[in-house]
Chains A and B, each alone.
Chain A
Amino acid sequence: KAGVTQTPRYLIKTRGQQVTLSCSPISGHRSVSWYQQTPGQGLQFLFEYFSETQRNKGNFPGRFSGRQFSNSRSEMNVSTLELGDSALYLCASSLSNPGQGSYNEQFFGPGTRLTVL
């Protein structure tokens, strides 16, 4: 079974630009979560999508947005980039059945390293 894939792996942008990151979950996984990780920080939760609906959102400004498509692939967009947005962006997929209230293990992709100059 193929793992979680993220594209691109590396990205360099300048302040004020916008960026779109893509994540393809493991086949059959319907939940996709996005995280930001900066040096010395743990994983900062951005948002989680399930069946094309955003179920949870972290404490990030509105410049960070996302969406999920019918095939469970997800995209994350950051507009008006700031220097502080430089980070590793990780996505993770899981089965996550909401009806049963169960939590399933998350599988992470390799991440997209975003550098804002």
Chain B
Amino acid sequence: EDKVVQSPLSLVVHEGDTVTLNCSYEVTNFRSLLWYKQEKKAPTFLFMLTSSGIEKKSGRLSSILDKKELFSILNITATQTGDSAVYLCAAAEDSNYQLIWGAGTKLIIKP
């Protein structure tokens, strides 16, 4: 059965720290890995990763995919209280149009 596992499930750090969130997957016909940030309501898109080893960056956030070891990481540097959220990753299959979601990592940034 296809699955996506995120770790840790929750994380508390202080403002200014750097955090690394993990997402591993076992998906038949894997196509891409997506990261979303969910604050109070709707998840908002962060990154889509399709190729292995190519880092995607957006400000203080970056992410990379390892298709050999079947995982992705999301890095956040110089964290701010506004980074507090649940970070979700999802894997997309090539053969259908369903995303397989992880349970999320709840990140809390303390001032």
Where the two chains meet, the residues of A that have a C-beta atom closer than 8 Å to any C-beta of B are 4, 31, 33, 35, 40-45, 48, 50, 55-56, 58, 88, 90, 96, 98, 101, 103, 105-111
Complex: A53 Cα to B101 Cα, angstroms: 23
Label chain B's interface by main secondary structure: strand
Write the chain A residue with the least CB distance to B89.
A42
Cβ of B96 within 8 Å of any chain A Cβ, yes or no, is: yes
Q: Are A105 and B48 in contact (CB under 8 A)?
A: yes
Where the two chains meet, the residues of B that have a C-beta atom closer than 8 Å to any C-beta of A are 6, 31-32, 34, 36, 41-45, 48, 88, 90, 92-104
Cβ-neighbour of B98 out of A56, A90, A111 (below 8 A): A56
Complex: A86 Cα to B104 Cα, angstroms: 20
Known: A42-B88, A108-B42, A111-B42. A103 touches B103 (CB 8 A): no
Known: A42-B88, A90-B42. A106 touches B94 (CB 8 A): no
Cβ-neighbour of A107 out of B45, B88, B100 (below 8 A): B45
Contacts of A42 in B (CB 8 A): 6, 88, 101-104
25 A-B residue pairings within 8 Å (CB atoms): A33-B97, A42-B6, A42-B88, A43-B43, A43-B88, A43-B90, A43-B99, A43-B101, A45-B101, A48-B98, A55-B97, A56-B96, A56-B97, A58-B98, A96-B97, A101-B94, A103-B31, A103-B92, A105-B45, A106-B99, A108-B36, A108-B42, A109-B42, A110-B41, A111-B41
Q: Are B96 and A108 in contact (CB under 8 A)?
A: no
Complex: A111 Cα to B40 Cα, angstroms: 10
